[in-house]
Amino acid sequence: MFEGSGLAKKYKIKECECPSGKMTRFVEPCLLFFLSQGDSYGYELMTKLDNFGFPKAKPDSAMVYRTLRYLEKEGFVVSKWDTKGTGPAKRNYGLTQKGMGLLHLWAESIAMRKQVLEKFLKQYSHQFKSVRKK
Amino acid sequence: MFEGSGLAKKYKIKECECPSGKMTRFVEPCLLFFLSQGDSYGYELMTKLDNFGFPKAKPDSAMVYRTLRYLEKEGFVVSKWDTKGTGPAKRNYGLTQKGMGLLHLWAESIAMRKQVLEKFLKQYSHQFKSVRKK
DNA sequence: ATCATGTATATGTAAAATACATATAGATGT
DNA sequence: ACATCTATATGTATTTTACATATACATGAT
């Protein structure tokens, strides 16, 4: 994994000088995807994100709640309070058709992005193949 | 490509509501990579970026110049003026060892990121495989 | 009873990143 | 003389992100 490589130490580079894998921006498509599997609420979505494979650091809860509110404002999701069950009331979110559309757009965008990263990595590893033993 | 899918129109979603593929952040590792192939200067690096396969939109020249200055400030690159040749003087950049280290860190980070995107896409396409005919 | 912990949502704000506009200036072609 | 291309650079408004903090219900332990 990223932390364990020792490269940062070797070259005396602060960890923060290259993105650590938080991928906060990625929160939005994840939320949309989770909601496409069924209604849910902020706290639960947060734990799902947590298990989704974010390389590092827990997703920022502020990000989750604010993203959900943004998505609702724009009509990508709808919510209603759920007072049933134990504990404090939950705001239960559901995906709209428009939200489903946004998810598909995100998927296209992510696929494209993946290709760009792949292109970079291909060129990179081609150039350094001889240097990078191990 | 992204623009041509028609999804945005179908779902009445503004293009800006999902990232368009500018990937400004990606400029830094690209610059480092280009410089690992030999010294260069801002304007040339910009055109290289242009040809690198950014899905949309030209790279912001401000971003390129500011990133180069940042990299120099932090010791990842060094520069000197090149007054030889035609046209206005160029500031010629070269990668330092520390800069090479940062490039390798970026490569790790990008590889990790690619995996996360892949994971997302795999789950996504698994879920929507039946729905997404052509 | 009161205290810590877990569940749940929400906001305030400082700092960083980004987009977009604009400035400067040498060289070249018309 | 003027437009265009090459080349670097900065100003700044806006957006994004990180981090801290506030609220409050529920539950189990002391």
Is residue A121's pLDDT more than 50?
yes
Mean pLDDT, range A55-82, rounded to an integer? 90
Instruction: Give residues 99-118 of chain A lying near strand C (Cβ < 7 A).
Output: none
For residue A60, say whether its CB is under 7 Å from any atom of strand D: yes
Q: What is the pLDDT of residue A8?
A: 82
Could you list the mean pLDDT of each consecutive 10-residue stretch along chain B, which spans 134 residues?
65 74 84 97 92 70 95 95 91 96 93 92 91 50
Residue B81's beta-bridge partner residues? B91
Q: State the pLDDT at residue B120.
A: 94
State how far Cα B11 lies from the chain centre: 29
Burial class of residue A41, CB neighbours in 10 A (0-12, 13-18, 19+) = middle
Residue A3's pLDDT band (cuts 50, 70, 90)? very low
Quick check: A1 and B112 CB within 8 A? yes
The spacing between the Cα labelled CA in A65 and the C1' in D28, in angstroms, equals 28
Contact B39, B92 (CB under 8 A): yes
Contact A7 B54 (CB under 8 A): no
Write the pLDDT tens digit of every residue in A13-39. 877 777 766 778 899 999 999 999 999
A121, with CB counted inside 10 A (0-12, 13-18, 19+), is: middle
The mean-pLDDT minimum among A58-62, A71-75, B52-56 falls in B52-56
> Which DSSP category does B24 fall into?
G
**Residue A123, CA distances (Å) to A116, A126, A128 in order:** 11, 5, 9
Report CB contact under 8 Å: B17, A74.
yes
Pick out residues 75-114 of chain B having their CB under 7 A from any atom of nucleic acid strand C: 86-88
pLDDT higher than threshold 90 for residue A58: no
Instruction: Please tell me which residue of chain B has the smallest CA distance to A71.
Output: B17
Kindly list the distances between the CA atom of residue A37 and the CA atoms of A33, A34, B59, in Å, as whole numbers in the listed order. Answer: 7, 5, 37
The CA–C1' separation of A68 and D19, in angstroms, is 19
Q: Pick the closest to residue A91 from A102, A101, A77 (CA basis).
A: A77
How many Å apart are CA A87 and CA A63, to the nearest integer? 22
pTM here is 0.89
A79 pLDDT band, cuts 50/70/90, is: very high
Q: What is residue B1's predicted lDDT score, i.e. its pLDDT?
A: 39
User: What would the mean pLDDT of A105-112 be, rounded to a whole number?
Assistant: 92
